[in-house]
Amino acid sequence: MQQWEKLLNEKKLSIEEQQRLWDFLSHYITPRRKTLFQEKIAHRTYHITVVVEDIYQERNASAVVRSAECFGVQSVHIIENHNEYKIAKGIAKGADKWVDLHIYDQKEQNNTEVCLQSLKAQGYRLVATTPHQDDCYIHELDLRYPTAFIMGGEKDGLTPTAMEMADAYVKIPIYGFTESFNLSVATAIILYESTRRLHQSDIKWQLSEELRLRKLIEWTLKSVSDANKLLARFFEEQASNAN
Protein backbone atom coordinates (compact mmCIF):
# COMPACT_ATOMS: atom_id res chain seq x y z
CA MET A 1 0.00 0.00 0.00
CA GLN A 2 1.31 3.44 -0.95
CA GLN A 3 1.89 6.13 1.67
CA TRP A 4 -0.89 8.28 0.20
CA GLU A 5 -3.31 5.34 0.41
CA LYS A 6 -2.60 4.91 4.11
CA LEU A 7 -3.10 8.63 4.71
CA LEU A 8 -6.42 8.65 2.86
CA ASN A 9 -7.65 5.67 4.87
CA GLU A 10 -6.64 7.30 8.14
CA LYS A 11 -8.34 10.62 7.38
CA LYS A 12 -11.83 9.20 6.68
CA LEU A 13 -12.86 12.29 4.70
CA SER A 14 -16.46 13.46 4.42
CA ILE A 15 -18.04 13.89 0.97
CA GLU A 16 -17.44 17.64 1.18
CA GLU A 17 -13.77 17.13 2.07
CA GLN A 18 -13.35 14.61 -0.72
CA GLN A 19 -14.89 17.09 -3.17
CA ARG A 20 -12.38 19.75 -2.09
CA LEU A 21 -9.52 17.26 -2.44
CA TRP A 22 -10.65 16.24 -5.93
CA ASP A 23 -10.94 19.91 -6.95
CA PHE A 24 -7.41 20.49 -5.61
CA LEU A 25 -5.84 17.45 -7.26
CA SER A 26 -7.56 17.91 -10.62
CA HIS A 27 -5.43 21.03 -11.22
CA TYR A 28 -2.39 18.75 -11.46
CA ILE A 29 -3.67 16.65 -14.37
CA THR A 30 -4.49 17.75 -17.90
CA PRO A 31 -8.05 18.86 -18.74
CA ARG A 32 -8.25 15.92 -21.15
CA ARG A 33 -7.38 13.40 -18.42
CA LYS A 34 -9.81 15.05 -16.00
CA THR A 35 -12.61 14.74 -18.56
CA LEU A 36 -11.63 11.13 -19.27
CA PHE A 37 -11.78 10.25 -15.56
CA GLN A 38 -15.22 11.85 -15.26
CA GLU A 39 -16.50 9.95 -18.29
CA LYS A 40 -15.21 6.58 -17.07
CA ILE A 41 -16.36 6.94 -13.47
CA ALA A 42 -19.97 7.25 -14.66
CA HIS A 43 -19.84 3.63 -15.87
CA ARG A 44 -18.02 2.07 -12.91
CA THR A 45 -19.80 -0.42 -10.69
CA TYR A 46 -19.37 -2.52 -7.57
CA HIS A 47 -22.77 -4.12 -8.18
CA ILE A 48 -20.88 -6.85 -10.04
CA THR A 49 -17.51 -8.22 -9.04
CA VAL A 50 -15.33 -11.10 -10.23
CA VAL A 51 -13.66 -13.81 -8.16
CA VAL A 52 -10.96 -15.97 -9.78
CA GLU A 53 -9.83 -19.11 -8.02
CA ASP A 54 -6.32 -20.50 -8.44
CA ILE A 55 -5.53 -19.40 -11.98
CA TYR A 56 -2.09 -20.70 -12.90
CA GLN A 57 -1.62 -19.04 -16.32
CA GLU A 58 -0.71 -15.40 -15.77
CA ARG A 59 -2.03 -14.44 -19.20
CA ASN A 60 -5.50 -15.68 -18.20
CA ALA A 61 -5.45 -13.89 -14.85
CA SER A 62 -4.36 -10.68 -16.53
CA ALA A 63 -7.00 -11.04 -19.24
CA VAL A 64 -9.69 -11.36 -16.56
CA VAL A 65 -8.53 -8.13 -14.92
CA ARG A 66 -8.43 -6.42 -18.31
CA SER A 67 -11.98 -7.55 -19.16
CA ALA A 68 -13.28 -6.36 -15.79
CA GLU A 69 -11.72 -2.94 -16.30
CA CYS A 70 -13.04 -2.66 -19.86
CA PHE A 71 -16.61 -3.38 -18.73
CA GLY A 72 -16.41 -0.96 -15.79
CA VAL A 73 -16.31 -3.63 -13.07
CA GLN A 74 -14.31 -1.92 -10.36
CA SER A 75 -13.16 -4.86 -8.24
CA VAL A 76 -11.54 -8.24 -8.86
CA HIS A 77 -10.82 -10.84 -6.17
CA ILE A 78 -7.84 -13.16 -6.70
CA ILE A 79 -7.75 -16.37 -4.65
CA GLU A 80 -4.34 -18.03 -4.23
CA ASN A 81 -4.72 -21.45 -2.65
CA HIS A 82 -2.00 -23.07 -4.75
CA ASN A 83 -1.04 -20.73 -7.59
CA GLU A 84 0.43 -17.25 -7.20
CA TYR A 85 -1.15 -14.42 -9.16
CA LYS A 86 1.23 -12.64 -11.53
CA ILE A 87 0.40 -9.80 -13.87
CA ALA A 88 1.29 -10.22 -17.55
CA LYS A 89 1.92 -6.62 -18.57
CA GLY A 90 1.39 -7.25 -22.28
CA ILE A 91 -2.03 -8.80 -21.61
CA ALA A 92 -3.29 -6.55 -18.80
CA LYS A 93 -2.36 -3.35 -20.68
CA GLY A 94 -2.28 -1.42 -17.40
CA ALA A 95 -5.82 -2.45 -16.39
CA ASP A 96 -4.60 -3.40 -12.90
CA LYS A 97 -3.91 0.32 -12.26
CA TRP A 98 -7.59 1.27 -12.47
CA VAL A 99 -9.38 -1.54 -10.62
CA ASP A 100 -9.36 -2.68 -7.00
CA LEU A 101 -7.41 -5.92 -6.77
CA HIS A 102 -8.07 -7.97 -3.63
CA ILE A 103 -5.58 -10.83 -3.31
CA TYR A 104 -6.16 -13.67 -0.83
CA ASP A 105 -2.77 -15.30 -0.35
CA GLN A 106 -2.48 -16.34 3.28
CA LYS A 107 -0.75 -19.67 3.74
CA GLU A 108 -2.33 -22.56 5.63
CA GLN A 109 -5.89 -21.31 5.32
CA ASN A 110 -8.71 -21.87 2.87
CA ASN A 111 -8.50 -18.60 0.96
CA THR A 112 -11.62 -19.47 -1.03
CA GLU A 113 -13.69 -19.65 2.13
CA VAL A 114 -12.20 -16.42 3.50
CA CYS A 115 -12.88 -14.54 0.27
CA LEU A 116 -16.41 -15.79 -0.22
CA GLN A 117 -17.39 -15.24 3.42
CA SER A 118 -16.16 -11.65 3.12
CA LEU A 119 -18.20 -11.07 -0.03
CA LYS A 120 -21.31 -12.57 1.57
CA ALA A 121 -20.85 -10.26 4.55
CA GLN A 122 -20.79 -7.33 2.09
CA GLY A 123 -24.14 -8.44 0.69
CA TYR A 124 -22.99 -10.17 -2.49
CA ARG A 125 -24.86 -13.09 -3.99
CA LEU A 126 -22.27 -15.73 -4.93
CA VAL A 127 -22.76 -17.09 -8.44
CA ALA A 128 -20.62 -20.02 -9.54
CA THR A 129 -19.98 -20.00 -13.28
CA THR A 130 -20.30 -23.69 -14.05
CA PRO A 131 -22.94 -26.11 -15.32
CA HIS A 132 -25.02 -27.45 -12.41
CA GLN A 133 -28.38 -29.10 -11.95
CA ASP A 134 -29.75 -25.83 -10.51
CA ASP A 135 -28.11 -23.55 -13.06
CA CYS A 136 -29.50 -20.98 -15.50
CA TYR A 137 -28.13 -19.21 -18.56
CA ILE A 138 -26.33 -15.91 -18.06
CA HIS A 139 -29.09 -13.94 -19.80
CA GLU A 140 -31.63 -15.41 -17.34
CA LEU A 141 -29.74 -14.59 -14.14
CA ASP A 142 -31.46 -12.25 -11.68
CA LEU A 143 -29.18 -9.21 -11.33
CA ARG A 144 -31.21 -7.23 -8.80
CA TYR A 145 -28.76 -8.21 -6.07
CA PRO A 146 -25.03 -7.37 -5.91
CA THR A 147 -23.42 -10.31 -7.70
CA ALA A 148 -20.01 -11.95 -7.37
CA PHE A 149 -19.17 -14.22 -10.30
CA ILE A 150 -16.81 -17.03 -9.24
CA MET A 151 -14.50 -18.34 -11.98
CA GLY A 152 -12.59 -21.59 -11.51
CA GLY A 153 -9.03 -22.50 -12.42
CA GLU A 154 -8.11 -23.70 -15.90
CA LYS A 155 -7.54 -27.38 -15.03
CA ASP A 156 -9.86 -28.34 -12.21
CA GLY A 157 -12.55 -25.66 -12.32
CA LEU A 158 -14.17 -24.52 -9.10
CA THR A 159 -13.27 -26.17 -5.80
CA PRO A 160 -15.85 -28.01 -3.69
CA THR A 161 -15.74 -25.08 -1.24
CA ALA A 162 -16.76 -22.60 -3.96
CA MET A 163 -19.50 -24.90 -5.22
CA GLU A 164 -20.91 -25.45 -1.73
CA MET A 165 -20.85 -21.75 -0.79
CA ALA A 166 -22.43 -20.57 -4.05
CA ASP A 167 -25.96 -19.17 -3.90
CA ALA A 168 -26.61 -19.76 -7.61
CA TYR A 169 -25.04 -21.30 -10.70
CA VAL A 170 -24.81 -19.86 -14.19
CA LYS A 171 -23.65 -21.11 -17.58
CA ILE A 172 -23.04 -19.74 -21.07
CA PRO A 173 -24.90 -21.19 -24.07
CA ILE A 174 -22.62 -23.38 -26.19
CA TYR A 175 -23.65 -24.54 -29.65
CA GLY A 176 -20.47 -26.33 -30.74
CA PHE A 177 -18.89 -29.65 -29.82
CA THR A 178 -16.40 -28.14 -27.34
CA GLU A 179 -17.70 -28.32 -23.79
CA SER A 180 -16.43 -25.04 -22.42
CA PHE A 181 -14.91 -21.65 -23.20
CA ASN A 182 -11.42 -20.54 -22.23
CA LEU A 183 -11.47 -18.94 -18.77
CA SER A 184 -10.75 -15.40 -19.92
CA VAL A 185 -13.25 -15.67 -22.79
CA ALA A 186 -15.95 -16.99 -20.44
CA THR A 187 -15.33 -14.09 -18.05
CA ALA A 188 -15.58 -11.55 -20.87
CA ILE A 189 -18.88 -13.04 -22.09
CA ILE A 190 -20.37 -13.07 -18.59
CA LEU A 191 -19.31 -9.49 -17.88
CA TYR A 192 -20.51 -8.24 -21.25
CA GLU A 193 -23.95 -9.79 -20.87
CA SER A 194 -24.41 -8.79 -17.22
CA THR A 195 -23.21 -5.18 -17.62
CA ARG A 196 -25.27 -4.80 -20.82
CA ARG A 197 -28.40 -5.82 -18.93
CA LEU A 198 -27.56 -3.61 -15.95
CA HIS A 199 -27.16 -0.55 -18.18
CA GLN A 200 -30.62 -1.18 -19.64
CA SER A 201 -32.27 -1.72 -16.25
CA ASP A 202 -33.54 0.49 -13.45
CA ILE A 203 -31.19 -1.21 -10.96
CA LYS A 204 -29.00 1.26 -9.04
CA TRP A 205 -25.67 -0.18 -10.20
CA GLN A 206 -23.63 3.03 -10.38
CA LEU A 207 -21.21 4.17 -7.68
CA SER A 208 -22.49 6.44 -4.94
CA GLU A 209 -21.24 10.03 -4.98
CA GLU A 210 -18.85 9.24 -2.14
CA LEU A 211 -17.36 6.26 -3.96
CA ARG A 212 -17.11 8.22 -7.22
CA LEU A 213 -15.08 10.92 -5.50
CA ARG A 214 -12.89 8.33 -3.79
CA LYS A 215 -12.07 6.65 -7.11
CA LEU A 216 -11.43 9.98 -8.86
CA ILE A 217 -9.00 10.93 -6.08
CA GLU A 218 -7.22 7.56 -6.24
CA TRP A 219 -6.95 7.61 -10.04
CA THR A 220 -5.53 11.12 -9.93
CA LEU A 221 -2.99 10.27 -7.27
CA LYS A 222 -1.89 7.29 -9.37
CA SER A 223 -1.40 9.63 -12.32
CA VAL A 224 0.82 12.31 -10.77
CA SER A 225 4.51 12.07 -9.95
CA ASP A 226 4.47 13.47 -6.39
CA ALA A 227 1.28 12.02 -4.95
CA ASN A 228 2.51 11.93 -1.35
CA LYS A 229 3.70 15.55 -1.42
CA LEU A 230 0.49 16.78 -3.07
CA LEU A 231 -1.69 15.07 -0.52
CA ALA A 232 0.42 16.40 2.36
CA ARG A 233 0.18 19.92 0.90
CA PHE A 234 -3.60 19.69 0.68
CA PHE A 235 -3.97 18.66 4.32
CA GLU A 236 -1.54 21.38 5.42
CA GLU A 237 -3.58 24.00 3.57
CA GLN A 238 -6.82 22.65 5.07
CA ALA A 239 -5.34 22.81 8.58
CA SER A 240 -4.07 26.34 7.97
CA ASN A 241 -7.48 27.52 6.68
CA ALA A 242 -9.19 25.98 9.70
CA ASN A 243 -7.02 28.07 12.00
Residue 204 to residue 230: CA distance in whole angstroms: 34
**How confident is the model over 146-161, as a mean pLDDT?**
86
> Pick from 81, 84, 76, 78: which is nearest to 56 by CA?
84
Residue 64 to residue 211: CA distance in whole angstroms: 23
- Does position 92 have pLDDT exceeding 60, yes or no? no
Count CA within 13 A, CB hemisphere, residue 21.
30
Exposed e or buried b per residue across 4-25, where buried means at least 16 C-beta atoms within 10 angstroms of its C-beta: beeebeeeebeeeebbbbbebb
Q: Which amino acid is at 31?
A: P
Q: Residue 177: its pLDDT value, please?
A: 86
Share of the chain above pLDDT 70, in %: 91
**How confident is the model over 40-58, as a mean pLDDT?**
88
CB 50 within 8 A of CB 62: no
Per-residue pLDDT band for 87 (boundaries 50, 70, 90) equals low
Residue 133 to residue 112: CA distance in whole angstroms: 22
pTM above 0.95, yes or no: no
Per-residue pLDDT band for 243 (boundaries 50, 70, 90) equals low
Q: Is 150 annotated as a binding residue?
A: no
Q: Residue 154: its pLDDT value, please?
A: 61
Q: Residue 180: its pLDDT value, please?
A: 81
Span 48-84+100-199: which CATH code?
A: 3.40.1280.10
Q: Which helix (H) or strand (E) holds 67?
A: helix 58-70
Helix orientation angle between 209-223 and 15-25, rounded to the nearest 10 degrees? 30
Residue 127 to residue 137: CA distance in whole angstroms: 12
Domain boundaries, the chain: 48-84+100-199
Q: Is 172 annotated as a binding residue?
A: yes
- Does position 4 have pLDDT exceeding 50, yes or no? yes
Strands (E), 132-232: 135-137, 147-151, 168-171
Please write the tens of the pLDDT for every residue from 62-80: 889 999 999 999 999 998 8
Give the rounded distance of the alpha carbon of 94 from its chain centre.
14
Strand partners, 52: 78, 151
Please write the tens of the pLDDT for every residue from 105-149: 888 788 999 999 999 999 999 999 987 777 899 999 999 999 999
| DSSP structure string for 177-193 | SS----HHHHHHHHHHH
